[in-house]
Structure 1
Amino acid sequence: MLHNIPPILPPDLLHALAAMGHGDDVVIADANFPAQSMGQRVVRCDGMSATDILEAVLTLLPLDTFVDDAARVMAVVGQPGSIPDVVNEFQTIIDNTADNPAKIATVDRFDFYDIARKAFVVVQTGEKRLYGNIILKKGVIA
Protein backbone atom coordinates (compact mmCIF):
# COMPACT_ATOMS: atom_id res chain seq x y z
CA MET A 1 0.00 0.00 0.00
CA LEU A 2 1.27 3.47 -0.87
CA HIS A 3 0.22 6.95 0.22
CA ASN A 4 -1.28 9.57 -2.09
CA ILE A 5 -1.71 7.32 -5.13
CA PRO A 6 -5.27 7.19 -6.48
CA PRO A 7 -6.50 3.63 -5.86
CA ILE A 8 -8.17 3.41 -9.30
CA LEU A 9 -4.76 3.34 -11.03
CA PRO A 10 -3.67 -0.27 -11.56
CA PRO A 11 -0.03 -1.27 -10.96
CA ASP A 12 0.66 -1.70 -14.69
CA LEU A 13 -0.41 1.89 -15.34
CA LEU A 14 1.66 3.21 -12.43
CA HIS A 15 4.68 1.40 -13.86
CA ALA A 16 4.08 2.85 -17.35
CA LEU A 17 3.63 6.40 -16.04
CA ALA A 18 6.84 6.11 -13.99
CA ALA A 19 8.76 4.70 -16.97
CA MET A 20 7.66 7.47 -19.35
CA GLY A 21 10.12 10.22 -20.17
CA HIS A 22 9.68 13.89 -20.98
CA GLY A 23 7.73 14.26 -24.22
CA ASP A 24 6.23 10.77 -24.15
CA ASP A 25 2.49 10.49 -24.74
CA VAL A 26 -0.20 8.62 -22.81
CA VAL A 27 -3.58 8.00 -24.43
CA ILE A 28 -6.63 7.72 -22.21
CA ALA A 29 -9.18 6.06 -24.46
CA ASP A 30 -12.88 5.31 -24.41
CA ALA A 31 -14.38 1.84 -24.72
CA ASN A 32 -14.73 2.13 -28.53
CA PHE A 33 -11.11 3.11 -29.18
CA PRO A 34 -9.06 0.46 -31.05
CA ALA A 35 -6.43 0.34 -28.30
CA GLN A 36 -4.99 -3.10 -28.99
CA SER A 37 -4.24 -2.26 -32.61
CA MET A 38 -2.94 1.24 -31.78
CA GLY A 39 -0.60 0.87 -28.87
CA GLN A 40 2.44 -1.20 -28.13
CA ARG A 41 1.50 -1.08 -24.45
CA VAL A 42 -2.14 -1.23 -23.44
CA VAL A 43 -3.37 -1.03 -19.86
CA ARG A 44 -7.02 -1.87 -19.33
CA CYS A 45 -9.21 0.06 -16.89
CA ASP A 46 -12.53 -1.32 -18.11
CA GLY A 47 -14.64 -0.34 -15.11
CA MET A 48 -13.46 3.27 -15.03
CA SER A 49 -14.51 6.37 -16.94
CA ALA A 50 -11.97 8.31 -18.98
CA THR A 51 -12.62 11.37 -16.82
CA ASP A 52 -11.88 9.51 -13.57
CA ILE A 53 -8.68 8.07 -15.04
CA LEU A 54 -7.65 11.49 -16.38
CA GLU A 55 -8.08 13.08 -12.97
CA ALA A 56 -6.12 10.30 -11.24
CA VAL A 57 -3.31 10.37 -13.83
CA LEU A 58 -2.95 14.15 -13.56
CA THR A 59 -2.32 13.87 -9.82
CA LEU A 60 0.92 12.06 -10.74
CA LEU A 61 1.88 13.11 -14.27
CA PRO A 62 3.27 16.57 -15.06
CA LEU A 63 2.06 18.11 -18.32
CA ASP A 64 4.67 19.30 -20.79
CA THR A 65 5.21 23.07 -20.75
CA PHE A 66 7.46 23.13 -23.83
CA VAL A 67 4.66 22.45 -26.33
CA ASP A 68 1.37 24.15 -27.18
CA ASP A 69 -0.53 20.86 -27.35
CA ALA A 70 0.17 18.99 -24.10
CA ALA A 71 -3.43 17.74 -24.19
CA ARG A 72 -5.13 16.68 -27.43
CA VAL A 73 -8.53 15.26 -28.30
CA MET A 74 -10.08 13.93 -31.49
CA ALA A 75 -12.21 16.31 -33.56
CA VAL A 76 -15.81 15.23 -34.11
CA VAL A 77 -16.00 13.71 -37.57
CA GLY A 78 -17.99 15.98 -39.88
CA GLN A 79 -18.38 18.62 -37.14
CA PRO A 80 -14.86 19.87 -36.36
CA GLY A 81 -16.12 22.87 -34.34
CA SER A 82 -18.31 20.73 -32.09
CA ILE A 83 -17.09 20.10 -28.53
CA PRO A 84 -18.55 17.01 -26.85
CA ASP A 85 -19.54 17.26 -23.18
CA VAL A 86 -16.82 14.78 -22.24
CA VAL A 87 -14.19 17.10 -23.74
CA ASN A 88 -15.54 20.03 -21.71
CA GLU A 89 -15.23 17.80 -18.65
CA PHE A 90 -11.63 16.93 -19.64
CA GLN A 91 -10.81 20.65 -19.78
CA THR A 92 -12.32 21.27 -16.35
CA ILE A 93 -10.28 18.40 -14.89
CA ILE A 94 -7.09 19.72 -16.49
CA ASP A 95 -7.81 23.23 -15.22
CA ASN A 96 -8.43 21.97 -11.67
CA THR A 97 -5.91 19.14 -11.37
CA ALA A 98 -2.91 19.54 -13.70
CA ASP A 99 0.29 21.05 -12.39
CA ASN A 100 0.52 23.03 -15.63
CA PRO A 101 -3.04 23.51 -16.92
CA ALA A 102 -3.20 23.49 -20.70
CA LYS A 103 -5.86 24.32 -23.26
CA ILE A 104 -6.95 21.18 -25.06
CA ALA A 105 -6.01 21.07 -28.74
CA THR A 106 -8.18 19.27 -31.29
CA VAL A 107 -6.74 17.05 -34.01
CA ASP A 108 -8.28 15.20 -36.94
CA ARG A 109 -9.38 11.61 -36.26
CA PHE A 110 -6.63 10.01 -38.37
CA ASP A 111 -3.96 12.36 -36.97
CA PHE A 112 -5.13 11.35 -33.50
CA TYR A 113 -4.70 7.68 -34.48
CA ASP A 114 -1.19 8.37 -35.80
CA ILE A 115 -0.20 10.02 -32.53
CA ALA A 116 -1.77 7.17 -30.55
CA ARG A 117 0.23 4.57 -32.50
CA LYS A 118 3.44 6.23 -31.29
CA ALA A 119 2.27 6.74 -27.69
CA PHE A 120 4.16 5.19 -24.82
CA VAL A 121 0.98 3.65 -23.41
CA VAL A 122 -2.72 3.49 -24.25
CA VAL A 123 -5.13 3.24 -21.34
CA GLN A 124 -8.38 1.56 -22.39
CA THR A 125 -11.20 2.71 -20.12
CA GLY A 126 -14.84 1.74 -19.93
CA GLU A 127 -15.87 5.24 -21.02
CA LYS A 128 -19.07 4.97 -23.07
CA ARG A 129 -19.36 8.60 -24.18
CA LEU A 130 -18.27 9.09 -27.77
CA TYR A 131 -15.02 11.04 -28.27
CA GLY A 132 -13.95 10.25 -24.70
CA ASN A 133 -10.29 10.06 -25.77
CA ILE A 134 -7.41 12.32 -24.77
CA ILE A 135 -3.66 12.30 -25.30
CA LEU A 136 -1.37 13.83 -22.68
CA LYS A 137 2.29 14.73 -23.20
CA LYS A 138 4.43 14.14 -20.13
CA GLY A 139 6.46 17.05 -18.86
CA VAL A 140 9.22 17.34 -16.30
CA ILE A 141 9.18 17.73 -12.56
CA ALA A 142 11.29 20.79 -11.78
Structure 2
Amino acid sequence: ILSVGTNTLTAIFTASNATNYVSPLTNTVSLVVNSAYAFNLTEWLKGQTMSPAILAKLAIGGASSALANDGEIPVVTLDSDKLFLSAIVRTNGPVGLVVVGEVGASLTNWSTNGVAVTTSTNTNEVPVGHQRRVFSIDRSNSATRQFLRLKATMP
Protein backbone atom coordinates (compact mmCIF):
# COMPACT_ATOMS: atom_id res chain seq x y z
CA ILE A 1 0.00 0.00 0.00
CA LEU A 2 1.39 3.38 -0.98
CA SER A 3 1.00 6.41 1.22
CA VAL A 4 1.24 10.14 0.53
CA GLY A 5 4.89 11.14 0.12
CA THR A 6 7.90 9.29 -1.27
CA ASN A 7 7.65 5.50 -1.40
CA THR A 8 10.71 3.35 -2.17
CA LEU A 9 10.01 0.20 -4.16
CA THR A 10 12.53 -2.56 -4.88
CA ALA A 11 12.01 -4.90 -7.82
CA ILE A 12 14.09 -8.00 -8.56
CA PHE A 13 14.17 -9.22 -12.16
CA THR A 14 15.43 -12.71 -12.98
CA ALA A 15 16.17 -13.42 -16.65
CA SER A 16 14.93 -16.77 -17.93
CA ASN A 17 17.93 -17.00 -20.30
CA ALA A 18 20.98 -15.63 -18.47
CA THR A 19 23.19 -15.45 -21.59
CA ASN A 20 24.77 -11.98 -21.70
CA TYR A 21 22.62 -10.81 -18.79
CA VAL A 22 23.37 -10.29 -15.14
CA SER A 23 20.74 -12.24 -13.28
CA PRO A 24 19.11 -11.50 -10.91
CA LEU A 25 19.02 -7.75 -11.45
CA THR A 26 17.82 -5.56 -8.58
CA ASN A 27 16.48 -2.09 -9.26
CA THR A 28 15.19 0.43 -6.71
CA VAL A 29 12.83 3.21 -7.72
CA SER A 30 11.14 6.00 -5.83
CA LEU A 31 7.49 6.76 -6.40
CA VAL A 32 5.95 9.98 -5.14
CA VAL A 33 2.23 9.92 -4.33
CA ASN A 34 0.84 13.44 -4.67
CA SER A 35 -1.45 14.47 -1.83
CA ALA A 36 -3.77 16.10 -4.37
CA TYR A 37 -4.87 12.60 -5.36
CA ALA A 38 -4.90 11.00 -1.93
CA PHE A 39 -7.33 11.92 0.82
CA ASN A 40 -5.92 13.26 4.08
CA LEU A 41 -8.58 13.38 6.82
CA THR A 42 -6.49 15.53 9.17
CA GLU A 43 -5.98 18.10 6.42
CA TRP A 44 -9.69 18.04 5.51
CA LEU A 45 -10.78 18.49 9.16
CA LYS A 46 -8.76 21.75 9.49
CA GLY A 47 -8.56 21.31 13.27
CA GLN A 48 -12.24 20.42 13.73
CA THR A 49 -13.27 17.40 15.80
CA MET A 50 -15.23 14.65 14.08
CA SER A 51 -18.93 14.79 14.95
CA PRO A 52 -22.11 13.54 13.26
CA ALA A 53 -22.48 16.89 11.45
CA ILE A 54 -18.83 16.87 10.30
CA LEU A 55 -19.15 13.23 9.17
CA ALA A 56 -22.21 14.13 7.10
CA LYS A 57 -20.29 17.02 5.54
CA LEU A 58 -17.31 14.75 4.83
CA ALA A 59 -19.38 12.02 3.20
CA ILE A 60 -22.19 13.88 1.44
CA GLY A 61 -22.21 17.03 -0.65
CA GLY A 62 -18.60 17.42 -1.74
CA ALA A 63 -17.39 19.99 0.81
CA SER A 64 -13.70 20.84 0.32
CA SER A 65 -13.07 20.95 4.10
CA ALA A 66 -14.85 20.77 7.45
CA LEU A 67 -14.87 24.59 7.56
CA ALA A 68 -16.03 25.14 3.96
CA ASN A 69 -19.57 25.99 2.90
CA ASP A 70 -19.10 24.80 -0.67
CA GLY A 71 -20.94 21.47 -0.57
CA GLU A 72 -24.13 20.68 -2.46
CA ILE A 73 -27.39 19.84 -0.70
CA PRO A 74 -28.95 16.52 -1.81
CA VAL A 75 -31.94 16.87 -4.13
CA VAL A 76 -35.19 14.92 -3.73
CA THR A 77 -37.47 14.26 -6.70
CA LEU A 78 -40.30 11.86 -7.40
CA ASP A 79 -42.33 10.52 -10.23
CA SER A 80 -45.42 8.31 -10.27
CA ASP A 81 -43.38 5.18 -9.39
CA LYS A 82 -40.24 6.21 -7.52
CA LEU A 83 -38.77 8.53 -4.93
CA PHE A 84 -35.24 9.69 -5.79
CA LEU A 85 -32.51 11.29 -3.70
CA SER A 86 -29.50 12.55 -5.67
CA ALA A 87 -26.33 13.46 -3.78
CA ILE A 88 -22.61 13.97 -4.25
CA VAL A 89 -20.90 11.19 -2.29
CA ARG A 90 -17.21 10.99 -1.35
CA THR A 91 -15.46 8.01 -2.95
CA ASN A 92 -11.84 8.75 -1.95
CA GLY A 93 -12.44 9.18 1.76
CA PRO A 94 -10.97 7.45 4.76
CA VAL A 95 -10.96 3.65 4.79
CA GLY A 96 -14.33 2.40 5.95
CA LEU A 97 -16.36 5.50 5.01
CA VAL A 98 -19.73 4.22 3.76
CA VAL A 99 -22.82 6.07 2.55
CA VAL A 100 -26.07 4.12 2.16
CA GLY A 101 -29.65 4.99 1.40
CA GLU A 102 -32.27 3.95 3.95
CA VAL A 103 -36.05 3.78 3.61
CA GLY A 104 -38.70 3.90 6.31
CA ALA A 105 -42.47 4.21 6.62
CA SER A 106 -41.88 6.08 9.88
CA LEU A 107 -38.98 8.09 11.21
CA THR A 108 -38.06 5.38 13.72
CA ASN A 109 -37.52 2.22 11.64
CA TRP A 110 -35.02 2.30 8.76
CA SER A 111 -33.81 -0.33 6.31
CA THR A 112 -31.58 -0.53 3.25
CA ASN A 113 -33.90 -3.16 1.71
CA GLY A 114 -35.42 -1.92 -1.52
CA VAL A 115 -33.07 1.05 -1.96
CA ALA A 116 -31.44 1.08 -5.40
CA VAL A 117 -28.25 3.05 -6.06
CA THR A 118 -26.93 4.21 -9.42
CA THR A 119 -24.08 6.48 -10.42
CA SER A 120 -25.38 9.53 -12.26
CA THR A 121 -24.00 10.57 -15.62
CA ASN A 122 -24.33 14.19 -14.43
CA THR A 123 -20.82 15.15 -13.34
CA ASN A 124 -21.45 18.92 -13.26
CA GLU A 125 -19.69 20.45 -10.26
CA VAL A 126 -18.75 17.04 -8.84
CA PRO A 127 -15.34 17.40 -7.16
CA VAL A 128 -12.48 14.96 -7.77
CA GLY A 129 -12.83 11.99 -5.41
CA HIS A 130 -16.64 12.10 -5.45
CA GLN A 131 -19.54 10.72 -7.49
CA ARG A 132 -23.08 11.91 -7.93
CA ARG A 133 -25.22 8.95 -6.87
CA VAL A 134 -28.97 8.52 -7.17
CA PHE A 135 -30.70 6.55 -4.42
CA SER A 136 -34.25 5.46 -5.22
CA ILE A 137 -37.14 3.47 -3.82
CA ASP A 138 -40.20 2.04 -5.53
CA ARG A 139 -43.37 3.79 -4.40
CA SER A 140 -45.87 1.70 -6.33
CA ASN A 141 -45.96 -1.37 -4.03
CA SER A 142 -45.34 0.19 -0.65
CA ALA A 143 -46.78 2.22 2.18
CA THR A 144 -48.49 5.49 1.32
CA ARG A 145 -45.90 7.39 3.31
CA GLN A 146 -42.20 6.70 2.79
CA PHE A 147 -39.05 8.46 3.83
CA LEU A 148 -35.65 8.15 2.17
CA ARG A 149 -32.47 9.26 3.92
CA LEU A 150 -28.72 8.96 3.53
CA LYS A 151 -26.67 7.48 6.34
CA ALA A 152 -22.89 7.91 6.55
CA THR A 153 -20.76 5.73 8.80
CA MET A 154 -17.05 5.48 9.45
CA PRO A 155 -15.16 3.31 11.95
Q: TM-score, normalised by structure 1?
A: 0.26
Structure with higher Rg: it is: 2
Which structure: greater strand fraction?
2
TM-score between both structures, scaled by the size of structure 2 = 0.24
Larger relative contact order, structure 1 or 2 (CA cutoff 8 Å, min sep 6): 1
